[in-house]
Amino acid sequence: MDTKILIIGACGQIGSELTLSLRSIYGNDNVIASDIREGNYELIQSGPFEILDAKNYEQIKECVEKHQITDVYLLAAMLSATGEKHPMIAWDLNMNSLFNILNLAKYKQIKKVFWPSSIAVFGSTTPRQNTPQFTVMEPATVYGITKQTGERWCEYYHKNYGVDVRSIRYPGIISWKTLPGGGTTDYAVEIFYEAIKNKSYKCFLSNDTALPMMYMDDAVKATIDIMRADKDDITIHSSYNLAAITFTPDEVAAEIKKHIPEFTISYEPDFRQKIADSWPQSIDDSKAREDWNWNHSFDLEKMTKVMLENLG
Ligand code: SER
Structural contact between residues 288 and 240, judged by C-beta atoms closer than 8 angstroms: yes
**What's the chain's average pLDDT?**
97
CA of 260 to the centre of ligand 1 (A): 27
> Over the Cα atoms of the chain, what is R_g?
19
Ligand 1, pocket residues at CB < 6 Å? 79-80, 118-120, 143, 170, 172, 183-185
pLDDT in tens, 97-122: 999 999 999 999 999 999 999 999 99
The Cα-based distances of 123 to 38, 114, 131, 187 in angstroms read 35, 24, 11, 20
CA proximity to 252, closest of 297, 305, 295, 296 = 305
Contact at 8 Å (CB) between 168 and 138? Answer: no
Can you list the domains of the chain with their CATH numbers?
Answer: 5-120+129-170+216-241 (3.40.50.720), 173-213+244-311 (3.90.25.10)
Ligand 1 pocket: which of 122, 141, 186, 209 to mutate (most atoms <8 Å of CB)? 186
Q: Which of 26, 41, 57, 143 is catalytic?
A: 143
**Residue 173: pLDDT above 90?**
yes
Q: 26 an active-site residue? A: no
Whole-angstrom Cα distance, residue 139 to residue 121?
Answer: 5
Q: In the beta sheet, which residues pair with residue 264?
A: 200
Output the CA 185–ligand 1 centroid distance in Å.
6
Per-residue confidence (pLDDT) for residue 203, from 0 to 100: 98
Q: How far is the CA of 170 from the centre of ligand 1 (A)?
A: 8
Q: What's the first-to-final CA gap in the chain, in angstroms? A: 44
Ligand 1 atom nearest the C-alpha of 279 is: 5
Helix, coil or strand: residue 195: helix
Which residue from 118, 187, 278 has its CB within 8 A of the most atoms of ligand 1, so it is best to mutate?
118
Q: Which of 202, 168, 232 is nearest to 18 (CA)?
A: 168
Ligand 1: which residue has its CA nearest to atom 1? 172
- Condensed to tens digits (0 to 9), the pLDDT of residues 40-92 reads 888 999 999 999 999 999 999 999 999 999 999 999 999 999 999 999 999 99
Task: List, in order, residues 6 or more apart from 159 with CB less than 8 Å away.
Answer: 237
126 touches 280 (CB < 8 A): yes
pLDDT at 25 over 70: yes
CA 9 to chain centre: 11
Alpha helices in 76-234 (DSSP H): 80-85, 87-106, 142-161, 187-197, 216-228
| Interval between CA 113 and ligand 1 midpoint (Å) | 21
Q: Which region holds residue 71: left if phi is over 0, alpha if psi is between -120 and 50, else beta?
A: beta
- What's the number of CA atoms in the CB half-sphere (13 Å) around residue 79? 22
Atom of ligand 1 nearest to the CA of 170: 6
Does residue 118 sit in helix, strand or coil? strand
Query: Any idea what the Cα angle at residue 76 is, between residues 310 and 185, rounded to 5°?
Result: 50
Give the model's pLDDT for residue 40: 84
For 211, phi then psi, to 5°, come to -140, 150
Residue of minimum CA distance from atom 2 in ligand 1: 183
What separation in Å is there between the alpha carbon of 232 and the centre of ligand 1?
A: 30
Answer yes or no: is pLDDT of 1 > 80.
Answer: no
Taking only the tens place, the pLDDT of each residue in 239-284 is 999 999 999 999 999 999 999 999 999 999 999 999 999 999 999 9
Q: Which amino acid is at 72?
A: V
Q: Which amino acid is at 26?
A: Y
